[in-house]
Structure 1
């Protein structure tokens, strides 16, 4: 029977024995949705969505680490794997989400209504994402060393998560301001609805909110420390991290941004089709 074992002396890596069934279930779930993303990417050639696949692979390996830790709570290897590889994937998901907003703006020819030019919008937010990634990764590496380094690692991770939350807050504000400005001027023009850009924006808001909730939970988790409720109760991790991140991947798969592919001369292909249809109706209908 699995039991909680110390890593070194009286220092414990885990505050509970990680559930083997839960880890296996989410390993399978992330494997399935990651495979679906791979299929979609190769079918549509939307390579900017590749961070979702990389993040999904990290989740799979991370839950493999949790499964292995069930009977090895005193071993450092499985703990490091699950700590780092379940912490960082949302940063990768964010990168694709940021790039989608730039594509939405270009697809509907709404550059003039964006607070940040589409040419640098992605760079600004992805740069923040990269900073968050390395800060969290460094903190997770220190945390994994255990003992006196744990508090330092937790503080660094909280700092990285706060960077991610701030960048996401700015991103949502930028997206909301763009949509408000754009709809005010273009709402009555049917051609600009042909790309389904409103559905794209709603999907962006949805997945962004889920990642934001997850990041806030992680801040609370690490800020509360090893004696806090979240790190002592495994269900909080699965409810506020595992489930939310799987839903993010599922929503992004269901709403796939292939409708934002550029057409002739940078205009959306859907808009071109709409214009052709209008011409035929005008002269032949």
Structure 2
């Protein structure tokens, strides 16, 4: 299995030939997890999971199909561009699902413990996520249309900017989520209930909500998925910083593990600890804790 750049691969865009069975495996697994997410989104009636996690799965299927194509036609530029663009920006859609889930969680457990209002999590972070997505798409388009190595390098730098924006958003989201949970567990609100907006106040129970198994599972699911996406974003940042012919981008194993496996792991985590199911259960079992 070729994993690093070799002299006979000098005309291959990847600087290696993607391994057929690995690409096939990822196409199958992303198809399965994506189909399951589609069923789960409809079953739980959490429709916002369709344009987020399901779209991420579709993008990953397209990306790994491009790599599968490249395993048979390694010098074909179309297949390379197909996979580089979709695997770069597809996880942005899943990140949006994590942002929305935290907003719902804050709304149910107590907006008074949250630095931001529940709706602001969706508005702010999904807007930043969209900006990141657009920047990555523009960079990918520029790199694809480039006729010189310099032009491709400039496009790569633009894509890098989009990845850095996403990385910063994930870092800030993680900080706010950790702070919210610490304040909730220690009962140290940022604001008094009387300071909440009318819309937020409608959701507030006089007492703290019970910390039950459902909440713990939701926290585990969000934490693990966020950690995997964060690792993946760090990897892609280093990869693009290293250039199109750098050692990082030219090593297949890094991509398979730190991108493919990380994103797949995040999707499977949300299949098992499904936010739609857990949020619905948390709402139906919402019991005040004395």
CA distance in 2, matches of 1:79, 1:184: 50
> Match for 1:228 among 246, 267, 277?
246
Q: Contact between 1:194 and 1:270, CA under 8 Å: does it hold in 2?
A: no
Q: Greater relative contact order (Cα 8 A, min sep 6): structure 1 or 2? A: 2
Distance in 1 (alpha carbons) for counterparts of 2:217 and 2:76: 46
* TM-score normalised by structure 1 residue count: 0.85
Task: Give, in angstroms, the shift of residue 125 of structure 1.
Answer: 0.4
CA contact under 8 A between 2:44 and 2:280: conserved in structure 1?
no
Q: 1:190–1:159: structure 2 CA closer, same or farther, 3 Å change rule? A: closer
Paired with 2:209 and 2:178, the residues of 1 have a C-alpha distance of 21
Matches within 5 A, 1:25-36: 25-36=25-36
Is the contact between residue 107 and residue 195 of structure 1 (CA under 8 Å) also seen in structure 2?
no
Residue number in structure 2 paired with 1:256 = 274
Ranges in structure 1 where 5+ consecutive residues have no aligned partner: 7-11, 279-285
Say if 2:55 is the partner of 1:54. Answer: yes
State the secondary structure of the residue aligned to 1:232: coil
Whole-angstrom CA distance in 2 between matches of 1:145 and 1:75: 15
Q: How many angstroms apart in 2 are the aligned matches of 1:223 and 1:5?
A: 20
Q: In 2, Cα distance between the equivalents of 1:23 and 1:91?
A: 21
C-alpha distance in 2, partners of 1:178/1:64? 40
What whole-Å deviation, never above 9, does each CA across 1:174-202 have from its counterpart, x for those lacking one? 1111111111128xx78522472232123
2:215 is aligned to 197
Q: Any gaps of 5 or more consecutive residues in structure 2?
A: 1-7, 189-206
CA distance in 1, matches of 2:175, 2:122: 14
Q: How far, CA to CA, are the matches of 2:69 and 2:101 in structure 1?
A: 36
Relative to 1, partners in 2 of residues 1:14 and 1:118: Cα closer, same or farther, differing over 3 Å? same
In structure 1, distance between residues paired with 2:68 and 2:217: 37
Which residue is 2:180 aligned to? 178
Who wins on radius of gyration, i.e. which is larger? 1
Out of 134, 152, 155, the position equivalent to 2:154 is: 152
2:284 to 258, 269, 272: 269
Q: What is the deviation of 1:115?
A: 0.2
2:66–2:79: 8 Å Cα contact kept in structure 1?
yes
SS of 1:193's partner is: coil
Q: Deviations over 1:65-100 (max 9, x none)?
A: 111112323322211211111111110000000000
Aligned counterparts of 2:115 and 2:175: Cα–Cα separation in 1: 10
Change (3 A) 1:5 1:227: closer
Indicate if the aligned counterparts of 1:132 and 1:160 stay in contact, CA closer than 8 A. yes
Aligned residue-pair number: 262
Matches within 5 A, 1:99-248: 99-108=100-109, 110-146=110-146, 147=148, 148-185=150-187, 191-194=209-212, 196-248=214-266
Aligned match of 1:283: none
Secondary structure of the 2:73 match is: coil
